[in-house]
Copies of this chain bind each other. A is one copy, B any other.
Amino acid sequence: MADINAENSHHRPELTSTGSEPGVEGPTAPVDPALVSFMELFYFAYRNFTGDPDAVLERYGFGRAHHRVLHFVHRNPGLKVAELLDILKITKQSLARVLKELRQKGFIAQRPGPDDLRERRLHLTLKGVRLTDKLTELQVRRIAHALKEAGGSADEVTRRFLVAMIEPHERDQVCSLVKCAEHRETDAKTGAT
């Protein structure tokens, strides 16, 4: 089953010749190999994280894009389209496509805004709630398990890490969206329920 690099040792290491001036490496700081492996773990962890829901979504003819919409609408009922666009950072046209499908298949409903009738406030239907909850449960389960395996302080610490990975100018938006106690270093460890 092609075990990738059990045999790494026998790979001929060197750079290739194509433009051979060797050693010209350029102005790149020497990179900590421990952090490189960290990058890789982040990649593989995220791939597994998204893998669970992907499998379910497929059965509905949906993709990851639909999942994101379902999720954020679930968490922020009555969300305006413009707000959703600002969260997802995609274009109106991209969103329109998945939104239309979710609407037509009865997972999302829109109601005109209470004050401004131009707005289409987004809500999940019961069907939408059921699906979204199922997806959430899958991902939450994986996270809960990983946190347990990572040890006691993992929730708090990893949370701070994830927040710190976010660009400062984006951080406030994300933190209020996420209802972020973890920004100001308070709790976030109390296994709420």
Listed in ascending order, the chain A residues whose CB lies under 8 Å from chain B are 1-6, 8, 10-22, 24-26, 28-49, 51, 68, 71, 75-79, 82-83, 85-87, 89, 106, 109, 111, 114, 121, 123-127, 129-130, 133-134, 136-137, 139-140, 142-147, 149-151, 153-155, 157-167, 170, 173-174, 176-180, 182, 188-193
Q: Which residues of B contact A12 (CB under 8 A)?
A: 77-78, 111, 114, 121, 123
User: Could you show 21 A-B contacts with beta carbons less than 8 Å apart?
Assistant: A2-B86, A5-B79, A12-B78, A12-B111, A16-B111, A16-B123, A18-B106, A21-B126, A22-B126, A26-B134, A28-B134, A30-B193, A31-B140, A33-B193, A39-B139, A42-B46, A43-B68, A45-B166, A149-B161, A154-B157, A158-B161
Q: Given A41-B162, A87-B4, is A19 in contact with B125 using a C-beta cutoff of 8 Å?
A: yes
A24 to B129 Cα, complex, angstroms: 10
Q: Which residues of B contact A25 (CB under 8 A)?
A: 129-130, 133
State whether A180 touches B130 (Cβ < 8 A). Answer: no
A137 to B146 Cα, complex, angstroms: 28
State whether A164 touches B178 (Cβ < 8 A). Answer: no
A51 to B169 Cα, complex, angstroms: 14
Q: Which residues of B contact A125 (CB under 8 A)?
A: 15-19
State whether B192 touches A34 (Cβ < 8 A). Answer: yes
**Contacts beyond the supplied A25-B129, A44-B162: 7 A-B pairs with Cβ under 8 Å:** A26-B133, A28-B130, A32-B193, A36-B140, A39-B49, A44-B174, A45-B161
